[in-house]
Amino acid sequence: MTTEMHVKPEAQYFSLEAPLLAEGRSDTTVARTDLLRLRLKVYASGGENVLHLHPMEDHSFIILQGEATFHIGTEDAITVLTKYQGVMLPRGTPYWFQSSASENLVMLRAGAAEDWPEDGRIAPDGHAIPGHSLENKHGESIPIPGKFFGP
C-alpha cells in the first residue's frame, strides 16, 4: 500500500502598503499561489480604461481608499464603488473602471484561475490587450514623496 505525501503550502504574510501617486498607477503582487493572486493597485487617475475580460480568471476588486466607477458588461452599465465596497467578476465578464474621486484609488484585487496565461486580458472581440499597453492607457507611475497607503 502506497501512501501519498501531500506537501502543505506555506502561509504567506503580507502588508497592504504602497506609495501614493501624483501620476499613473501601480500594481504590486502581495501574495500568490498556483490558484490565487492578491495584488494591491493604486491609481492617481484613470484606471483600466478599455472594455476587456479575463476568460480564465474569476476576480474581485475591494476598494480600500477613493472611489471607482465600473462599467460592467456594457459601457452604459455603471456602478460607483467606495471604501469597503467591492465587486466579484466571474471569468468572461467584460468590464472597465476608472478612479472617480480626487484622492488616489487604492484597491485589493484577488484573482483565481486553474491555468494562468502570460497576460489573460482580452477585448470582447478576442484580441489581446496587455495590461501595461498604450491601448489600456498605461502611463508612468510618479510617487508622491513621503505619502503612503497602509500602516
Of the pLDDT bands very low, low, confident and very high (cuts 50, 70, 90), residue 134 is low
pTM: 0.88
Over residues 68-82, the mean pLDDT reads: 96
Task: For residues 6-10, give the mean pLDDT.
Answer: 78
Question: What mean pLDDT comes out for the span 35-58?
Answer: 92
Contact 25, 42 (CB under 8 A): yes
pLDDT band at 130 (very low <50, low <70, confident <90, very high): confident
Q: Map out the domains of the chain as residue ranges.
A: 24-137
Of the two residues 46 and 2, the one the predictor is more confident about is: 46
Q: Are 93 and 67 in contact (CB under 8 A)?
A: no
Amino acid making up residue 137: K
The topology (CATH level 3) of 24-137 is: Jelly Rolls (2.60.120)
**pLDDT tens for residues 79-120?**
999 999 999 999 999 999 999 999 999 999 999 999 987 777
In contact, 100 and 107? CB cutoff 8 Å:
no
Tracing cell 500602516 back to the chain, one arrives at: 151
Residue 9 pLDDT level (bands cut at 50, 70, 90): confident
Q: Find the distance separating the first CA and the last CA of the chain, reported in whole Å.
A: 52
